[in-house]
Amino acid sequence: MRSRVQLVIFDCDGVLVDSEHISSRVLATMVRELGLEVSTQQALETFVGRSMAQCCEMIAARLGRALPAGFESEYQTRAHAALASEVTAVAGVESALDALQIPYCVASNGNLEKMTTTLRASGLLAHFEGRLFSIADVARGKPAPDLFLHAARAFGVAPSACAVIEDSPPGVVAGVAAAMTVFGYCAFTPAQRLIDAGAHCTFERMADLPRLLSGMV
């Protein structure tokens, strides 16, 4: 594959692993336990792509009070247990990774423990060992560009030579702000939401990704 793209940066949840419905279900349940009615679908639309710290701030603002001590750690415990037993790889992603002939990595607003849990449970960890970048690596998570820029620096690749694969508006915004080419994966997210956020193109089948990347000459 000859391409001006020298590095592919994948988001994790919803792009590599089919995890967002699971995590959103757990979060919605915990928010309802606090007395705020939130469905899994509403949690998906509101919180996906944001860091847990950002989610907690938004929930506290809606509640009008601080979250209980230990809310975040309890969420992490419940979510990790659910993900470890239920998560699967996104359809076609392993074949797409095998077809890539350029370096790739993963950069997620999730923490390293969560990424490791979901990638291991889905059978994808071997593809990314030593190439995982998390919210802990930067001062600001997505939608700030810091995480993507950090990954590019780690590989010694200019932002303009990076392709970002994202499925959430905050992630798309981050990729655009990093001056990278953003591919919006829209199997689970309405394509228009990703286009409105600035995605340069959208696609529904992960199997199509190698062909799309090879067209960037």
The CATH code for residues 20-86 is: 1.10.150.240
Domain boundaries, the chain: 7-18+88-214, 20-86
The CATH code for residues 7-18+88-214 is: 3.40.50.1000
For residue 56, the model assigns a pLDDT of 94
Return the residue matching tokens 């062909």.
211
Give me the percent of the chain exceeding a pLDDT of 90. 83
Q: Using CA of residue 105, residue 108, residue 112, residue 118, what is the dihedral sign? A: negative
Nearest to 62 by CA among 44, 47, 41: 47
Instruction: Check whether 62 has a pLDDT greater than 80.
Output: yes
Instruction: Check whether 2 has a pLDDT greater than 70.
Output: no
Question: How many Cβ atoms sit within 10 Å of the Cβ of residue 158?
Answer: 13
For the annotated catalytic residues, the residue numbers are: 11
For residue 214, the model assigns a pLDDT of 87
Tens digits of residue pLDDT in 12-50: 999 999 988 898 999 999 999 999 999 999 998 888 878
Tens digits of residue pLDDT in 63-98: 999 999 999 999 989 998 998 899 999 999 999 999
